Structures are given as C-alpha cells and as structure tokens.
C-alpha cells in the first residue's frame, strides 16, 4: 500500500471522537504529525455556517484482500494479498526521504512559471543547483495537481509569493488555498533587472520594452526617465525571447542577465529597478509535507477564517504574542466562495461586509510545543484553519 501524506486542516469546533485521524492535527492538547493513508478535510468553507469534519479514505486500512483464484503449476492457490519476496516491498519513508534538501537536487524535477531564463528558474536552481527545471506557461500550470504533481510529472513547484518592492502576489495566495500542495522551503532571490536589446543596439534607440507587469512596475521610475513605453508580457524571459526573434532595434526587454545569454541579447543597463535592494520570496511546494524539526530556524504558514465578533482578529494574533512567537507576514484575502457576510440587525435589518481569509507566517516550528499550543488556542476563534507548511527559513541572499 503506497504511503500518502495528507493536507493539514483544523476545524474550530470542539474535538470530536474520530478514529486515528492523521495530520498535524488536534490530539488532547498537542499537535502531532502522523503519516497515514487518510485525508482529513475541513468543510467549513461551504455555505453552511456549521463547521464539519469529513474523512476521505483513499485506501481503507485493514481492508482484506481476497485470493485471485488462480492455480499455479503445483496446484496451489495464488493469493494476491502477499508478496513472495519481501525485498520487493516498498521501504518505509524516513526523515531523509522527506527532507527539502536532497543533496544538491540531483534527479529532482522542479516546475516554474515562464520559460528558460525566468527568475523562477533562477530560484529553482538556487534551491536545487543540479535539478531539472520544467517550464510552465502560467502559475496555474505549475500548480496543476493532476498534470504536474499527482501524476508525478514533477517533484516540486516554485512559486513567487512576494517582492520587497512590489509587495504580495495576491493571485498566488489564492492558488495556495485552491491546490493541496505543501510548502517545504522558501527561497529568497536577489533580482537584478537588466535592459536587454538586440546586439549592436544603443540605449537611446529603444522606444518600448516588454516584460512581466511586476518587473515593469519595479522599474517604473527608471523607464519613465528614459521615455520608454512599457508593454506587458506573460513573463520576463518570454519578453527577451520575443525581442530576440522580432529583429526590431527599437524594442527591448526587462529580464535577467541569464536570459540575455540564453537568447543572444546585449545588456544595455543593469539594476534598472527603482530600488537596489530588490528581493523576491519564492515558495517550494510538494505533494507531501516535510517532518518539521528544531535543528534550524523554521517558519510555519497558515490560513484561517474567524468567527464573528469585536476584537476577533486581535485575539487571534494574541495567541502568538502570548507565547513569544514572531509574526513575519500577515495577508488578508476576501473569500471567493462567500465574499459577503450577512449580520442580523434588530434596528435596520441586515448589514453586509466582506468575509476574509487571513494568511500568516510565523517564526516557529510545528515541532515546538509553543507552536502547537498557539494553533490549539487559535481554534477557539477560527471557523477554519489550515497549515500550509512548516519549512526551514532561507537566510542566504
């Protein structure tokens, strides 16, 4: 039976009597990791106001296997429930197998958004220097569970989540919740935006540049001073490829130095971005979570919704402050399934306002008791709570 790891969910209702539930879940005052072939899912995002717990059994434990009924040459019944050679059985997973640092990334396939030369590929190669990078057209393609992950076409996906200049990538926050992948690592990548053009072209000849909207926004002041028209493209490396194939001397691209080398373009200027300190934070996602430890600095990412009432967000954040846990990031996104919440008002009928999802990164490992207690405390205020991943922090630029 193949071992499958599970999505990590919490529900705000009191613990219910459930048989041997896996995941980083609630267990009488502590949170534990148990890798078993059952998935625990919280259904609190539906239209019903009541939180519900659903068990989905991919492979029911304890299921009996019946014989095939086939007879071998000696007249014995062959049973499909047993292996004759025990060495052929799959070996149990160890902490090394689930490590986000498998040597130097050899034999690892990593998906990224864009084409060769994109910054996402740079992030993948920083995390796993000898990995095989797999380009994807859009962020959804890198996230496509059926095509890229569950079908084992790739081992990991790299996703940009925020930039020190441009801020958060909201579209990708939505994807984190939509797809059941686990964050196993973060990558901090220093971005050097370069102005690229065909060989022999002078800077003053360039009248328009192509690049990803985020890259263009990060170079807005510099491009305005040059009097250059900005044109959006799907990704920066794709923009470099378009310029290389266009043959137009008045067209340039904002992309990386590696993209210039790949597509035969000249670098007319480096560090075109408005801020010299330009860093993009990427997340590495896989099918299974890693086993959290305390051997280095860890970060945990969660998403939750809150019950109604005054001061609920303050109370939710206080569970971390009370335990000395630093919050490094908080982001709110409207719930797409239920963007409006209706509240009865005895005087004026009803009031409508947005219902939010809160994404939080905090600096603690799920192996620590204080992190487990904080999430258990958070359950008192949350209608829905999911751990997106617990992973080592990247401190090297």
Instruction: Say yes or no: domain 295-340+351-396 is CATH 3.30.70.260.
Output: yes
**Residue 387 confidence class, pLDDT cut points 50, 70, 90:** very high
The DSSP symbol for 88 reads: G
Q: Where are the alpha helices (DSSP H) in the chain?
A: 119-127, 139-143, 170-178, 213-218, 220-226, 236-246, 257-263, 312-321, 369-378
Average pLDDT over residues 60-71: 37
Per-residue pLDDT, 8: 46
User: What tokens appear for 356 in the block?
Assistant: 């939010």
pLDDT at residue 283 above 50?
A: yes
Do 105-190+277-287 and 194-270 come out as alike in CATH topology?
Answer: yes
Q: What is the pLDDT of residues 291-340, one digit of tens each?
A: 999 989 999 999 999 988 889 999 999 999 999 999 999 999 988 777 67
Ranges 59-68, 115-124, 170-179: which has the least confidence: 59-68
User: What tokens appear for 383 in the block?
Assistant: 């209608």
Q: What is the share, in percent, of the chain residues with pLDDT greater than 90?
A: 49
pLDDT at residue 391 above 60?
A: yes
Class of domain 105-190+277-287: alpha beta
Class of domain 194-270: alpha beta
**Residue 113 confidence class, pLDDT cut points 50, 70, 90:** confident
pLDDT at residue 83 above 80?
A: no
Who contacts 17 (Cβ-Cβ below 8 Å, separation ≥6)? none
pLDDT at residue 262 above 50?
A: yes
Q: Are 157 and 284 in contact (CB under 8 A)?
A: yes
Distances (CA, A) of 385 to 25, 45, 125, 321, 391: 11, 10, 32, 18, 18
Per-residue pLDDT, 335: 84
Who wins on pLDDT, 100 or 369? 369
The rounded distance, in Å, linking the Cα atoms of 96 and 31 is 22
Nearest to 386 by CA among 31, 19, 2, 20: 31
Nearest to 389 by CA among 358, 362, 357: 362
Q: What is the mean pLDDT of the chain?
A: 76
pLDDT at residue 44 above 50?
A: no
Q: What is the share, in percent, of the chain residues with pLDDT greater than 70?
A: 66
Q: What is the pLDDT of residues 233-255, one digit of tens each?
A: 988 999 999 999 999 999 999 99
Distances (CA, A) of 67 to 23, 89, 377: 33, 19, 49
User: What tokens appear for 361 in the block?
Assistant: 């990164």
Average pLDDT over residues 175-186: 87
Q: What is the pLDDT of residues 139-178, one digit of tens each?
A: 666 566 345 655 667 889 899 999 998 889 888 888 888 8
Summary count for the chain: helices (H), strands (E): 9, 22
Report domain extents, the chain.
105-190+277-287, 194-270, 295-340+351-396
Helix (H, G, I), strand (E, B) or coil at 268: strand
Per-residue pLDDT, 43: 33
């Amino acid at each position: 039976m193949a071992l499958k790891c599970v999505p990590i969910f919490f529900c705000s209702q009191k613990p219910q009597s459930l048989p041997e539930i896996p995941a980083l879940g609630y267990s009488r005052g502590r949170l534990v990791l148990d890798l078993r072939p059952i998935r625990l899912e919280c259904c609190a995002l539906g239209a019903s106001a009541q939180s519900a717990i659903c068990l989905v059994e991919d492979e029911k434990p304890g299921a009996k296997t019946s014989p095939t009924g086939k007879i071998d040459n000696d007249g014995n019944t062959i049973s499909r429930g047993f292996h004759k050679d025990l060495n052929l059985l799959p070996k149990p997973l160890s902490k090394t197998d689930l490590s986000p640092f498998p040597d130097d990334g050899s034999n690892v396939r990593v998906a990224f958004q864009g084409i060769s030369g994109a910054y996402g590929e740079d992030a993948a190669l920083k995390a796993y220097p000898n990995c095989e990078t797999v380009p994807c057209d859009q962020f959804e393609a890198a996230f496509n569970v059926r095509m890229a992950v569950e079908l084992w076409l790739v081992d990991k996906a790299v996703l940009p989540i925020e930039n020190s200049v441009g801020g958060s990538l909201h579209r990708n926050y939505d994807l984190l919740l939509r797809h059941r992948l686990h964050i196993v690592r973060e990558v901090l990548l220093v971005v050097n935006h370069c102005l690229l053009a065909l060989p022999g072209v002078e800077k003053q000849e360039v009248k328009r540049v192509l690049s990803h909207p985020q890259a263009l926004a990060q170079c807005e002041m510099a491009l305005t001073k040059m009097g250059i028209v900005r044109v959006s493209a799907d990704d920066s490396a794709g923009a470099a490829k378009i310029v290389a194939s266009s043959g137009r001397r008045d067209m340039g691209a904002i992309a990386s130095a590696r993209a210039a080398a790949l597509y035969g373009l000249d670098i007319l200027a480096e560090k075109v971005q408005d801020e010299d300190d330009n860093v993009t934070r990427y997340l590495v996602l896989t099918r299974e979570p890693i086993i959290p430890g305390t051997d280095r600095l860890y970060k945990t990412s969660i998403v939750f919704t809150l019950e109604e009432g005054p001061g609920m967000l303050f109370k939710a954040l206080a569970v971390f402050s009370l335990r000395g846990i630093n919050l490094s990031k908080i982001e709110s996104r409207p719930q797409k399934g239920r963007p409006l919440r209706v509240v009865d008002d005895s005087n004026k009928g009803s009031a409508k306002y947005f219902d939010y999802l809160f994404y939080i990164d905090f600096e603690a490992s799920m192996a620590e008791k204080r992190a487990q207690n904080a999430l258990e405390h958070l359950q008192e205020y949350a209608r829905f709570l999911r751990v997106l991943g617990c992973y080592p922090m990247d401190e090297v630029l």
